[in-house]
């Protein structure tokens, strides 16, 4: 259901809105000069995707459209074996995708264990805008996607199949800390009006158990934002991020006055404290506040994030715990 339809069906009349003094979000924002914006940031050095979103924002696009189109760049990248089409399969050879999206209004949509659809983030957006639900899973998510005109494709590329078959020879399951220096894409955009949107999309951990869903499509874990405060996205070992509800934690810490950098550090250190085996996996967070300040922290050296601001794209090595 579109937001305006929801408003219609909840019985709020146009007159009720007209009676409310019109106050833009920007004027509520104490940092309303917004000199730093627009900005797009993404986990890892996903410069093409981040630039795509950043350029859209500079041309006046809203944060929600920019974030969706930005992450779609990596969903379509067949060479990226951790996101979308070409993603590594689970241990049984199924490519199953997880994605979510959040709007400045606080609306959210997600799909989990979605097969055969190259752009799960766009299905997640449809779930957000066209249904009364937040998340659809598996067969139901696929059915919904097909009913909404998404094309059914084979997501397992020859290359990913070959690597999976090599893996089957030993079946040794151990997370690789910084996979080829790129991984899940989580993106946050703040547009010219100062509104924030976010998205997160992944094929999950390579050779995961059939049925496994990670943090990336879970609102509060892989992604969270509050348009009054800021947003956060995660990458790495989803189980650790889910147990700490990491992105939600970071936004709440920023609400209490922490900078994005301080909030990311606290969240990673909590994961370190909660997991005796923390040295065996990577978790990284990137956060953005309403002022346009950015922070990032991770367990292991090697993580960086991409940023597009003032017409420039950059790769920014994150601070790290070990
Ligand atoms: C997951 N967080 O499914 C995702 C994948 C990832 O490093 O980021 N892997 O757990």
In 10 A of CB 225, how many CB atoms?
Answer: 29
| 260-296 tens-digit pLDDT | 999 999 999 999 999 999 999 999 999 999 999 999 9
Minimum CA distance residue for ligand 1 atom 9: 236
C-alpha 261: how far from chain center? 18
250 in Cβ contact with 259 (< 8 Å): no
**pLDDT of 135:** 98
Q: Are 69 and 42 in contact (CB under 8 A)?
A: no
β-bridge partners, 223: 219, 233
pLDDT of residue 31: 44
Put the strands of the sheet holding 312-317 in their side by side order. 135-137, 108-114, 97-102, 196-202, 185-190, 39-43, 304-309, 312-317
CA distance 137 to 72: 20
25 class by beta-carbon count within 10 Å (0-12 exposed, 13-18 middle, 19+ buried): middle
| Tokens at 246, concatenated | 């990491």
CA distance 33 to 200: 28
User: Domain map of the chain by residue range?
Assistant: 35-320
Does the predicted model carry a pTM greater than 0.85? Answer: yes
Query: Of the residues 81, 157, 184, 202, which is catalytic?
Result: 184
As a whole number of Å, the CA-based R_g of the chain is 19
Give the position, in ligand 1's atom list, of the atom nearest the Cα of 212.
3
pLDDT digits (tens, 9 = 90+) for 41-72: 999 999 999 999 999 999 999 999 999 999 99
Residue 143: pLDDT over 80: yes
Digit-coded pLDDT (tens) for 230-259: 999 999 999 999 999 999 999 999 999 999
pLDDT value for 173: 76
**What pLDDT shows up at residue 174?**
73
Ligand 1 close to Cβ of residue 202 (< 6 A): yes
Is beta strand 135-137 parallel, antiparallel or unpaired with respect to 185-190?
A: unpaired
d(CA 211, CA 213): 6
Sign of CA dihedral 199, 24, 28, 31: positive
Sign of CA dihedral 51, 52, 54, 59: positive
Asked if 12 contacts 6 with a C-beta cutoff of 8 angstroms, the reply is no
Q: Catalytic site residue 184?
A: yes
Distance 39 CA to ligand 1 centre (A): 24
Q: How far apart are CA 275 and CA 291, in angstroms?
A: 33
Which of 218, 235, 241, 298 for mutating ligand 1's site (highest number of atoms within 8 Å of CB)?
A: 235
CA distance 172 to 73: 31
Whether the pLDDT of residue 162 is over 60: the answer is: yes
Q: Which residues contact 186 (CB under 8 A, 6 or more apart)?
A: 42, 43, 198, 199, 200, 216, 222, 223, 233, 234, 235, 286
Which CATH fold would you assign to the domain 35-320?
3.60.20
Share of the chain above pLDDT 70, in %: 87
- What spacing in Å lies between the alpha carbon of 83 and ligand 1's midpoint? 10
């Amino acid at each position: 259901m579109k937001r305006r339809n929801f408003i219609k069906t909840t019985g709020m009349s146009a007159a009720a809105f007209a009676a409310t003094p019109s106050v833009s979000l920007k004027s509520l924002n104490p940092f309303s000069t917004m000199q730093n914006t627009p900005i797009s940031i993404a986990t890892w050095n996903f410069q093409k995707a981040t630039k795509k979103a950043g350029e859209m924002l500079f041309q006046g696009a809203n944060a929600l459209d920019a974030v969706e189109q930005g992450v779609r760049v990596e969903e379509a990248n067949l060479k990226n074996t951790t996101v979308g089409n070409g993603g590594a399969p689970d241990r049984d050879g199924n490519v199953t995708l997880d994605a979510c999206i959040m709007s400045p209004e606080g609306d959210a949509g997600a799909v989990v264990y979605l097969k055969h659809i190259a752009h799960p983030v766009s299905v997640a957006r449809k779930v957000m805008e066209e249904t009364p639900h937040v998340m659809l899973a598996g067969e139901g998510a696929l059915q919904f996607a097909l009913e909404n005109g998404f094309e059914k494709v084979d997501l397992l590329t020859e290359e990913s199949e070959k690597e999976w078959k090599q893996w089957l020879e030993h079946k040794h399951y151990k997370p690789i800390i910084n996979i080829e220096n790129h991984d899940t894409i989580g993106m946050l955009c703040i547009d010219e009006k100062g509104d924030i949107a976010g998205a997160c999309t992944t094929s999950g951990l390579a050779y995961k158990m059939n049925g496994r869903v990670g943090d990336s499509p879970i609102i509060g874990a892989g992604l969270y934002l509050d348009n009054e405060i800021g947003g956060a996205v995660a990458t790495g070992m989803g189980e650790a991020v889910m147990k700490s509800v990491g992105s939600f934690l970071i936004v709440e810490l920023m609400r209490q006055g922490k900078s994005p950098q301080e909030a990311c550090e606290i969240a990673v250190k909590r994961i370190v404290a909660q997991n005796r085996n923390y040295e065996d996996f990577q978790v990284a967070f990137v956060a953005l506040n309403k002022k346009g300040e950015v922070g990032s922290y991770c367990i292991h050296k090697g993580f960086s994030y991409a940023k597009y601001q003032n017409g420039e794209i950059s790769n920014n090595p994150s601070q790290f715990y070990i």
